Amino acid sequence: MGSADSKLNFRKAVIQLTTKTQPVEATDDAFWDQFWADTATSVQDVFALVPAAEIRAVREESPSNLATLCYKAVEKLVQGAESGCHSEKEKQIVLNCSRLLTRVLPYIFEDPDWRGFFWSTVPGAGRAGGDDDDENARPLAESLLLAIADLLFCPDFTVQSHRRSTVDSAEDVHSLDSCEYIWEAGVGFAHSPQPNYIHDLNRMELLKLLLTCFSEAMYLPPAPDSGSTNPWVQFFCSTENRHALPLFTSLLNTVCAYDPVGYGIPYNHLLFSDYREPLVEEAAQVLIVTLDHDSATSTSPTVDGTTTGTAMDDTDPPGPENLFVNYLSRIHREEDFQFILKGIARLLSNPLLQTYLPNSTKKIQFHQELLVLFWKLCDFNKKFLFFVLKSSDVLDILVPILYFLNDARADHSRVGLMHIGVFILLLLSGERNFGVRLNKPYSVRVPMDIPVFTGTHADLLIVVFHKIITSGHQRLQPLFDCLLTIVVNVSPYLKSLSMVAANKLLHLLEAFSTTWFLFSAAQNHHLVFFLLEAFNNIIQYQFDGNSNLVYAIIRKRSVFHQLANLPADPPAIHKALQRRRRPPESLSRTGSQEGASMEGSRPAAPAEPGTLKTSLVATPGIDKLTEKSQVSEDGTLRSLEPMSQQSSAEGSPATEEPDQAWREQRRLSSTSASGQWNPTSEWVLSWKSKLPLQTIMRLLQVLVPQVEKICIDKGLTDESEILRFLQHGTLVGLLPVPHPILIRKYQANSGTAMWFRTYMWGVIYLRNVDPPVWYDTDVKLFEIQRV
């Protein structure tokens, strides 16, 4: 039968279904088989031939028929899984049913009255193997999920058969050990199966259906208690699913082994279509959804250095119930970590590959999913995090992240990408090794719209952060605290900043310490505290290599004097805020000399008008996101959180910080009836007295007269002589006693867990356009907006 006839028959069946007012019996096979038995329709056909309005009409007007359709389609998948899908006809039925369910499920999820439907048992519906009472009692959702899991390891359908001859009876589905059928070599599996185009396509259809099952989460509004687990994910990742381990491994290995550039032949992606990429993308999406687990509320396995002979470490206490999270947290072999890290770094760097031939290499589009996956790996598996930071390989993750941050800074539709990039850097910056690794010279010249500089990866990070703060869009302001926290965290380890980076940091201080900026919002002065803390760390712990920064501080000494003499009387505050009423001078105009951008770079572009984006929940403030720890002499960290009250009594500049003053501030400042912010003199004085300026003032006191003397003696206008003097100078014994190093480490909390959930599902919603699985359905987790 031709495909046109096939489509016509399928469409006729759909029309019959929508026009029938009476319930059709579940036993009426002649009617139900029209939907899957005789047709060969692609998933795109199914979406076109089953319009949304008709699904909703059946749901409202003949609910029993929609229920029977779903139940019969699941029954066919269960039968296919039981029989092992040997004939072409059985394979076709399974594919047709999974396409139909992918189409219908979102319309069941969007109606609260239907939400329990898949979790109820269907009375008298003799399931496949109907004589088995236990099977009868399974909710429909469980039968569906177990059938999908079985079908993903079905020989000659989704995996290579191991049988030599066709004469052998087919592999018995029930005794099949799916660990021998893992899809790709990598973690815990050494054998790389022959690629098979048809198997990849079939896996994709089933993974698309699985993702659709999990997507019920999109139809629930973001709840503050993000502990609500997704029942579909919970069941699929439980011990009920006997394929949990091989499937987890298959998905992870499929993603990490993928090489989009192929065999290095330019343009090869234009000669033959890469059917692997859509599978990899789907695998990455299913993987991050199964790992959606609030680590703040669960016990995560402890870190200890033991190793065992298996890919999953068995020595740790039992981890979370979710087996995917559990397996992820127990990977421990070096070669597995290497495989994962290399794979993710290769894929993240792919969009940066510049060749002399335009369009000669394929650009992947799923970097946001990869960043979520990398985040989950670091968050759930501390051994992986330490492995990443053990070598300079971490820079292969850092550079692409900085590239994405810089590229997306002007684009309102990519705010989520900006946040996840910054969150990852915040997590990494809590570890000393990250700061140390940043000292590696930066030589890879990825074309980026930033000033040209010669220096280290630390310089690159500072130059990109400066660009985000001064020329990003308004919605990025909540990230400024995070960006500067990262700079403070790494500052004690930075051996030598370039002149470009040093000037950028001072330009930020200049911009953030203008009176209108300091007085115009309750939190703005924290940015000044962060910058001063970073300068203090470098002066106290890395003075020797940092003559560029010291020189920049001396040149801009007036900024520090202005801060020390900040006016706090009501007329001065009023005057500063009046200046604000005029259009504020944009940060980028205030005295930063922008050098020419790198050759070959394109300016960061705003979103095309009409671009769709999904809304995000607000992220917690930096005081909730991080936990303060002090670095002891031996390099170990001691948490300061419960102690913060006592430590502030010691009055050391580093611990006396705005954080404790937050609640105080609210009290001191009056918020007027209109909800407008009204700074008071008491409020300004409450934090002005705590500005950690002692170290810098002492440095200026000692060095400025010496530098001025050189200039007068030698009639110098030349920087190099002064820099030479500063390089050989020392302040040993002249500075205040070094303060302890404070690190603000990321801490898991339910606010970020909820943010990740909305971000991840927003990405999945927008990326699945062919077919548009969730488009135009009534999702509640986020809003869809046009830029």
Among 117-126, 330-339, 659-668, name the most confident range: 330-339
Res 652 pLDDT > 50: no
- Of 104-108, 228-232, 273-277, which range is least confident? 273-277
Res 298 pLDDT > 80: no
Q: Model confidence at 435, in pLDDT bands (50, 70, 90)?
A: very high
More confident: 278 or 675: 278
**Distance from C-alpha of 658 to C-alpha of 637, rounded to nearest angstrom:** 21
- Of 8-12, 667-671, 678-682, which range is least confident? 667-671
Q: Model confidence at 38, in pLDDT bands (50, 70, 90)?
A: confident
Res 452 pLDDT > 70: yes
Output the DSSP codes for 311-366.
Answer: SB--SSPP--S-HHHHHHHHB--HHHHHHHHHHHHHHHHGGG---SSTT-S---S-
User: In this predicted structure, what is the pLDDT of residue 654?
Assistant: 39
User: In this predicted structure, what is the pLDDT of residue 663?
Assistant: 46
User: In this predicted structure, what is the pLDDT of residue 641?
Assistant: 66
Q: Model confidence at 672, in pLDDT bands (50, 70, 90)?
A: very low
Q: What is the pTM of this model?
A: 0.89
User: In this predicted structure, what is the pLDDT of residue 545?
Assistant: 92
Helical ranges in 381-456 per DSSP H = 382-390, 395-408, 415-429, 432-437
Residue 442, CB-side half-sphere exposure with 13 Å CA sphere: 26
Mean pLDDT across 328-340: 95
Res 268 pLDDT > 80: no
Q: Which residue has the tokens 């009375």?
A: 123
Q: Model confidence at 309, in pLDDT bands (50, 70, 90)?
A: very low
130 burial (CB, 10 Å; 0-12 / 13-18 / 19+) is exposed
Give me the numbers of helices (H) and strands (E) for the chain, helices first please: 35, 7
Which residues sit opposite 744 in a β-bridge? 628
Mean pLDDT across 183-188: 88
**Distance from C-alpha of 439 to C-alpha of 422, rounded to nearest angstrom:** 19
Write the pLDDT tens digit of every residue in 79-110: 999 988 888 889 999 999 999 999 999 999 99
**Distance from C-alpha of 587 to C-alpha of 507, rounded to nearest angstrom:** 9
Write the pLDDT tens digit of every residue in 394-426: 999 999 999 999 999 989 999 999 999 999 999
User: In this predicted structure, what is the pLDDT of residue 314?
Assistant: 56
Q: Are 638 and 629 in contact (CB under 8 A)?
A: yes
Task: Tell me which residue of 336, 287, 291, 290 sits closest to 310, measured CA to CA.
Answer: 336
User: In this predicted structure, what is the pLDDT of residue 729?
Assistant: 78
Mean pLDDT across 149-153: 94
Write the pLDDT tens digit of every residue in 539-579: 999 999 999 999 999 999 999 999 999 999 988 888 888 87
Res 164 pLDDT > 70: no
Q: In this prediction, what percent of the chain has a pLDDT beyond 90? A: 50
Mean pLDDT across 582-591: 46
Res 756 pLDDT > 50: yes
Task: Tell me which residue of 138, 62, 56 sits closest to 104, measured CA to CA.
Answer: 56
Which residues sit opposite 159 in a β-bridge? 155
Among 114-128, 146-160, 601-615, 700-714, name the most confident range: 146-160
User: In this predicted structure, what is the pLDDT of residue 363?
Assistant: 77
- And the tokens for 572? 């001065």
User: In this predicted structure, what is the pLDDT of residue 595?
Assistant: 62
How would you label 306-323 residue by residue, b for 16+ Cβ within 10 Å and e otherwise? Answer: eeeeebbbeebeebbebb
Q: What sign for the dihedral angle of Cα 553, 555, 557, 558?
A: negative
- Of 326-330, 726-730, 753-757, which range is least confident? 726-730
- Whole-number mean pLDDT of the chain? 84
User: In this predicted structure, what is the pLDDT of residue 297?
Assistant: 55
Among 95-104, 119-128, 651-660, name the most confident range: 95-104
Among 344-353, 366-375, 597-606, 617-626, name the most confident range: 366-375
**Distance from C-alpha of 382 to C-alpha of 427, rounded to nearest angstrom:** 11
Q: Model confidence at 296, in pLDDT bands (50, 70, 90)?
A: low
**Distance from C-alpha of 393 to C-alpha of 644, rounded to nearest angstrom:** 36
Instruction: Work out the angle at residue 362's Cα, subtended by the Cα atoms of residues 359 and 363, and round it to the nearest 5 degrees.
Output: 95
- And the tokens for 600? 């070959």
Name residues whose C-beta falls within 8 Å of residue 764's C-beta, 6 or more positions apart in sequence. 211, 215, 285, 289, 369
- Of 350-354, 357-361, 517-521, 655-659, which range is least confident? 655-659
In the chain, what are the domain boundaries? 391-580+679-747
Task: Tell me which residue of 590, 628, 600 sits closest to 745, measured CA to CA.
Answer: 628
Helix (H, G, I), strand (E, B) or coil at 219: helix
Q: Where are the strands (E) in 577-682, listed by range? A: 612-614, 626-631, 637-639, 670-671, 677-678
Task: Tell me which residue of 72, 71, 68, 8 sits closest to 38, measured CA to CA.
Answer: 8
Q: Are 61 and 40 in contact (CB under 8 A)?
A: no
Res 132 pLDDT > 90: no
Q: Are 723 and 180 in contact (CB under 8 A)?
A: no
Q: Phi first, then psi: what are they for 29, rounded to 5°?
A: -60, -35
Q: Model confidence at 218, in pLDDT bands (50, 70, 90)?
A: very high
Distances in whole angstroms, Cα of residue 527 to Cα of each of 281, 533, 534, 677, 685 = 39, 10, 11, 18, 17
More confident: 152 or 262: 152
**Distance from C-alpha of 410 to C-alpha of 419, rounded to nearest angstrom:** 13
Q: Are 518 and 511 in contact (CB under 8 A)?
A: no
Mean pLDDT across 715-742: 81
User: In this predicted structure, what is the pLDDT of residue 659?
Assistant: 47
